[in-house]
Chain A
Amino acid sequence: MINVKDVERNYQTGETVVKALRGVNLDIGKGEFMSIAGPSGSGKTTLLNLIGCIDKMDAGEISIKDEAVSKMKKKEKTNFRRKYLGFIFQTYNLIPVLTAYENVAFVLSLLNVNEKEIELRTMAILKEVGLEGMEHRRPGKLSGGQQQRVAIARALIKNPEIVLADEPTANLDSNTGKEILELMKRMNKKHQTTFIFSTHDQMVMDYADRLVILHDGQIVSDEKR
């Protein structure tokens, strides 16, 4: 479903060019629960951002669902993300003035789904992630784990093909992190959604069905379990 071919990404820092990705090749199938691991600066977030269509590559090609996203214009990429991609961030990135319900429902509003369906789907997903009864709480009134559950619900509400999670457990204690991983695994099995994580958390690596290890912008290991 996702084909990454000879992808390169360079960053200019002053006069120095940092090669974040050096000719990365990767095929990811539908419904995979996969982790991209590696030390800091290895290029895992860069790879995740490129698959997520929020960054531009310097060379190579990425296609998702047979569409060459690397050749898409800004507007097309935005529409693609809107339809097919969900994001989960390390710091949850919820909108603080909106309630848990509104944060999740907002995604469906972007897709012009009618209010009745929004309500049904939002309530269902919040129940699924274990936030029933907390719909009207704003992020400030939720724990870190609860906020990440809202973020997961937000990523999954539109039934995306792919969910990209950048260090999803980094801000959580190990028990909560485990709960979150189990929740994502459950969602992966139930909805056949492809999950791709970037992480240096061993627990996340252990949960993954496939572990790709990056080092200095290159894949050094690709292990299916």
Chain B
Amino acid sequence: MTTKLAKTALRNISRNKRRSILSGTAIGVSAMAIVFLFSIIGGMTEDMAFNLKTYYTGEVRIRNIDYDKYERYNPLHLTVDWESVKDLLVDIEDIDKFVPRISFPANLYIEGSNFGAMGVGANFSLEAGFQDLDGSLKSGRLPEKGKNEMIMGAVLARDLKLNIGDKVTVMSTTAARGTNAITLKIVGLFSFPVGALNSKYFWLPLDRAQYFLRMNGGVQEVLIKVKEGVDPKKAAASISSVITNNTGKTLDIRSWEELSTSYGLMKMADMIYNFIAMFFFLLGSTVIINTTMMVIFERMREIGTLGAMGMHGKELVRLFFFEGTFISMIGAAVGVATGIAITLYVGKVGLDFTDAISGMDFEVSSILYPKLSIGKTIFVYFYSVIIAAGATLIPSKKAAKIEPVEALRYV
């Protein structure tokens, strides 16, 4: 019987093609939008993870135990002893790469005016293995160790009307809480994927930063990348015990997921979008509910006839439920396929958010590439079909309650 009902339901879809197309389109558009939305969130999450690991925290970050507590005061005196730590890190098997960094707020003194910026002292030879520095360098070259040179974010340079070869005096508070200044020559312009890094930052050799900031060979932080398959959280714990056992000092060693609040928010957003998806599908389902109601009124006599022939209410529910399910299945399939096609295209060309997020300190790249997740896409398909098909139960149950005599009288 179920097969017969399914067959009849499938044929019923073609009775009013325009209406079936309308219902299917509502589900399809919802499915397409959600596939694309999930792809954007997926792309954004992956992009943020990459940026955090590469530019902000590494997969594991080592800092002085008190640094975060006093971070708002720029406590450069709370350092990590780079020389002793690096020797220990080399021997830890879980670690793939590590780099020392010093980030500090600075004023750039240009023609009598001060402009706020962020400086980063880095070991460029180690950084080359940690990130694609050559790829990020738009023009010029990297600064050389021991030389008063810097590379500057291309957007910052443009805003300040600076170019390669120009000299800039940088002022900042030192680890000794005094004020110091250093004049650096711009030798290159960089463009990282994250807009904020390009519009606020300049990078200089680590040794010059240590000298300028009076850090006595210390560094503000060490960023670590672990080997593939190693859990950063577990790695952080083992690094911590190695350092404590060997130096007797306790450092603040945490994984990137523990450190980033925005990544946690992004993960939460991913969950929230599941509810938004449900809302979209319910909205799309209202069209199916509406058209099924219309279909029921149109086929009232038929319902009466089937009832008179001995068809039970449950079987009538199944008949209309199958119709709604088939329309949803077709609509969702077309919608998901369109969503995949759009995602694949946009995933190639990218979505340019440069203007939208300029000035925002957000660890997401200016150009976003949606990332298609097979699992999520399959989930969207079944999710949309289940919600839309479920929605057809509402009018279908109404059809089941109609008395045959009433239905046969219906004009």
Contacts and interface: CB of A to CB of B under 8 A. Distances in A.
Interface stretch (B31-39, B192-200, B264-272, B303-311): B303-311
A97 B305 contact: no
Among A85, A87, A112, A154, max chain B CB count under 10 A is at A87
Contact of B305 (A49, A55, A83, A87): A87
A110 B314 CA distance: 12
Interface in A88-131: 89, 91, 93, 95-98, 102, 106-107, 109-110, 112
Contacts of B1: 109-110, 112
Nearest to A110: B310
Interface stretch (A74-82, A167-175, A194-202, A210-218): A74-82
A106 B310 CA distance: 11
Nearest to A75: B312
Contacts of B304: 54, 93
Given A54-B403, A98-B11, A91 B307 contact: no
A97 B11 contact: yes
Nearest to B301: A93
B4 interface: yes
Contacts, number: 65
Contact of A79 (B8, B310, B403, B404): B310
B364 to A, nearest CB: 52
Contacts of A49: 405, 408
Contact of B302 (A54, A75, A93): A93
Nearest to B315: A110
B216 to A, nearest CB: 87
A52 B4 contact: no
Interface residues of B, number: 23
Contacts of B312: 75, 78
A12 to B, nearest CB: 14
A83 B310 contact: yes
B18 interface: no
B83 to A, nearest CB: 83
Given A54-B408, A109-B4, A112-B1, A82 B310 contact: yes
Contacts of A83: 310
Contacts of A93: 301-302, 304-305, 408
B17 interface: no
A82 B404 CA distance: 13
B163 interface: no
Contact of A78 (B8, B14, B305, B310): B310
Contacts of A55: 403, 405
Contacts of B51: none
A107 B14 contact: no
B301 A81 contact: no
A49 B310 CA distance: 14
A54 B405 contact: yes
Nearest to B302: A95
Interface in B370-411: 403-405, 408
Given A96-B15, A97-B8, A89 B408 contact: yes
A147 B306 CA distance: 16
Contacts of B404: 54
Contacts of A112: 1
A70 to B, nearest CB: 14
Interface in A22-77: 49, 52, 54-55, 75
A138 to B, nearest CB: 9
B286 interface: no
A43 to B, nearest CB: 14
Nearest to A86: B309
Interface string B227-261: 00000000000000000000000000000000000
Given A87-B305, A89-B305, A98 B310 contact: no
Contacts of B169: none
B301 A98 contact: no
B12 interface: yes
Interface in B292-323: 301-302, 304-312, 315
Contacts of A95: 8, 302, 305-306
Interface in B51-84: none
Given A93-B301, A93-B302, A95-B302, A78 B11 contact: no
Contact of A106 (B4, B403, B405): B4
Contacts of A102: 8
A78 B307 contact: yes
A162 to B, nearest CB: 12
B308 A87 contact: yes
B308 A81 contact: yes
A107 B309 contact: yes
A97 B310 CA distance: 19
A221 B405 CA distance: 26
Contacts of A107: 309-310
Contacts of A81: 308-310
B2 to A, nearest CB: 10
A91 B405 contact: no
18 contacts: A52-B308, A54-B404, A54-B408, A75-B312, A78-B311, A78-B312, A79-B310, A85-B310, A87-B308, A87-B309, A93-B304, A97-B11, A97-B12, A97-B14, A110-B1, A110-B310, A110-B311, A154-B309
Interface of A: 49, 52, 54-55, 75, 78-79, 81-83, 85, 87, 89, 91, 93, 95-98, 102, 106-107, 109-110, 112, 154
Given A55-B405, A87-B305, 15 more contacts: A54-B403, A54-B405, A78-B310, A78-B311, A81-B308, A82-B310, A85-B308, A85-B310, A87-B308, A87-B309, A91-B301, A93-B304, A93-B305, A107-B310, A110-B315
Ranked 3 nearest A-B pairs via Cβ? A82-B310, A97-B11, A93-B305
